[in-house]
Amino acid sequence: MKVLVINSGSSSIKYVLFEMQDSKVLTKGIVERIGEASAEVTHSVFLKGEEVKEKYEREVANHVEGLEFVVHLLTDSKKGIIHDKGEIVAVGHRVVHGGEHYNHAVVVNDEVKARIEELIPLAPLHNPANLQGIEVAEKIFPEAIQVAVFDTAFHQTMPAASYRYPLPNELYEKEKIRAYGMHGTSHEYVSKQALHLIDKPVDDSAIITIHLGNGCSMAAIKGGKCVDTSMGLSPLAGLMMGTRTGDIDPSIPFYLGSKLNMSFAEIDQMLNKESGLKGIAGSNDMRDVLDKRSAGDKEAMLAIDMYVQRIKKYIGAYIAEMGGLDAIVFTAGIGENSDEVRRLVCEDMAFLGIDLDEKKNRERKAVNRSIHAVNSKVQVWVVPTNEELEIASQSRALLGQVTQKSVH
Ligand code: AMP
């Protein structure tokens, strides 16, 4: 049974084709610079387990042409993975914002599409492109079910005390201004993996998932359900990130406007694109910042201190909110690969029952692995995230619930 996962951006389409019997990636790739003079397509094939990337440069006028080219690559008579696009039974779409409507994945119908459109003001950069991806896939894969998997869905179990802002009620009631959280598919995937690994009844469990990529977020997960998360109405809130501030005093934008005469657009650009690690240390790439820090660069030292301090602050807050902690889970580019960041986050936390095994922490393996010391009360895990597999699994789960006729 084959499921295609699509992450459609404004000028790109990322795709992964899974064989669901063994959750195996058959092929994956990305079509970039759609609509420009020449688009770039990177398509991976796996030869004896080794990934081999093929690159194509060609004109791709729009998303329909982009996805048609992907189908051509998938079904190519010499190197293709499938004979016919009809073998794909479900297409799972990453959709950034599902608002308060969706706490789980859904099969796409007209109402779902209307809701994704309605939510564009909350995700102006992503929802339009996600919707476009769905509409294109409906045309190209008319036999498959289309499934929307929302990045906000996992966080919908948060209680009001976590998701409401102390603003006048009507801003929530009329405008739906509240915390939604992001990276939900990643937090869901790694928390499910961890809950299998920690050997504790799910109902009694309390875990913290820490997604540290270019964007960074954390989630407090009690009894298997998200009770708090660090991103808010938008992905700007919470931890310090590659280029985003995370939490700052909310009066700073007023100050920038009145004192420095900056426009909304300029402030938006500064807070989202020029801050975080980049703002303090000059690079949004954690590897560069760690290298500079090792070379004694003062700004890089400060950036890492700030980055780590904020993660610790959220760990403390979430332990207090959940009334305990069984496990911490690190994931995404930095969380999976930087033993130094993990070490610093867990440093001096033994009083909370968090004790790393330095040797295990330094091992480099792209598998689920524990890195805590034998006596550590809190388990610490590294779990490589796999948002695409989670989207594919949720899409397959919905296949059982619908007949294709009732969908189209
Ligand atoms: P992601 O958004 O999940 O792809 O993560 C991107 C971030 O992971 C970037 O800041 C990279 O610098 C960081 N990253 C990737 N590999 C490493 C590594 N070996 N050590 C430190 N950071 C890394």
Write out pLDDT tens, residues 102-160.
999 999 999 999 999 999 999 998 999 999 999 999 999 999 999 999 999 999 999 99
Same domain, 271 and 132: no
CA distance 351 to 199: 23
Question: Which active-site residues does the annotation give?
Answer: 151
Instruction: Tell me the CA distances in angstroms from 345 to 212, 285, 306, 310, one per residue in order.
Output: 12, 18, 11, 9
Residues 19 and 144 in one domain: yes
Residue 373 lies in a domain: yes
Q: Which one-letter amino acid corresponds to residue 373?
A: A
- CA of 390 from ligand 1 middle (Å) equals 21
Whether residue 134 is found in the same domain as residue 214:
no
Q: Where on the phi/psi map is residue 20: left (φ > 0), alpha (ψ -120 to 50), or beta?
A: alpha
Ligand 1 mutation target, pool 287, 289, 388, most atoms within 8 A of CB: 287
Token pair in block for residue 155: 């966080």
Q: How confident is the model at residue 261 (pLDDT cuts 50, 70, 90)?
A: very high
Atom of ligand 1 nearest to the CA of 289: 12
Boundary residue ending a domain (108, 132, 150): 150
CA distance 100 to 17: 29
Residues 135 and 75 in one domain: yes
CA of 287 to the centre of ligand 1 (A): 7
| Separation of CA 315 and ligand 1 centre (Å) | 21
Side chain identity at residue 363, one-letter code? E
Terminal alpha carbon distance of the chain: 20
Sheet holding 13-19, edge to edge: 50-58, 39-47, 24-32, 13-19, 2-8, 88-95, 145-150, 106-107
Does some domain include residue 360? yes
| Residues 224, 367 within the same domain | yes
Residue 125 covered by a domain: yes
Task: Inform me whether the pLDDT recorded for 405 exceeds 60.
Answer: no
Helix (H) or strand (E) holding 281: helix 276-281
Q: pTM for the complete prediction?
A: 0.94
pLDDT at 408 over 70: no
Give the β-pairing of 2-8 and 13-19: antiparallel
Question: What is the model's pLDDT at position 46?
Answer: 84
Residue 382, Cα to own-chain centre: how many angstroms? 16
Q: Whose CA is nearest to atom 23 of ligand 1?
A: 334
Residues 6+ apart with CB under 8 A from 264: 257
Do residues 21 and 103 share a domain?
A: yes
Strand pairing category for 106-107 and 206-212: unpaired
State which residues form the domain around 376. 201-387
Residues in a beta bridge with 327: 207, 379
For residues 303 and 280, what is the distance between their CA atoms, to the nearest angstrom?
6
In a domain, 309, yes or no: yes
**Residue of 189, 118, 207, 208 whose CA lies nearest to 149:** 189
* Same domain, yes or no: 212 and 145: no
Q: Is residue 168 part of a domain?
A: no
Asked whether residue 401 is domain-assigned, the answer is: no
Q: What band does 403 get if pLDDT is binned at 50, 70 and 90?
A: low
The type of residue at 271 is L
Residues 213 and 140 in one domain: no
Quick one: 233 and 123 in the same domain? no
CA of 218 to the centre of ligand 1 (A): 16
Q: Examine residue 174 and state whether it is found in any structural domain, yes or no.
A: no
Among candidates 123, 279, 283, 328, which has minimal Cα distance to 292? 283
Q: Give the count of beta carbons closer than 10 Å to the beta carbon of residue 403.
A: 9
Which of 150, 168, 190 is the last residue before a domain boundary? 150
**One domain, residues 143 and 216:** no
Among 337, 339, 387, residue to substitute to test ligand 1 (most atoms within 8 Å of Cβ)? 337
Residue nearest to atom 19 of ligand 1 (CA): 337
Q: What is the pLDDT of residues 152-204, one digit of tens each?
A: 999 999 999 999 999 999 999 999 999 999 999 999 999 999 999 998 999 99
Nearest CA to ligand 1 atom 20: 338
Q: What is the CATH number of the domain that holds 359?
A: 3.30.420.40
Ligand 1-lining residues (CB < 6 angstroms): 213-214, 242, 285-287, 290, 332-334, 337-338
Do the domain assignments include residue 34? Answer: yes
Q: Which residues pair with 217 in a beta bridge?
A: 211
Same domain, yes or no, for 145 and 218?
no
Instruction: Give me the pLDDT at residue 79, please.
Output: 78
Q: How many domains, the chain?
A: 2
Q: Are residues 219 and 348 in the same domain?
A: yes
Q: What order do you get walking across the sheet with 379-382 strand by strand? A: 225-229, 216-222, 206-212, 327-331, 379-382, 369-370
The last residue of one of the domains, among 135, 150, 165, is 150
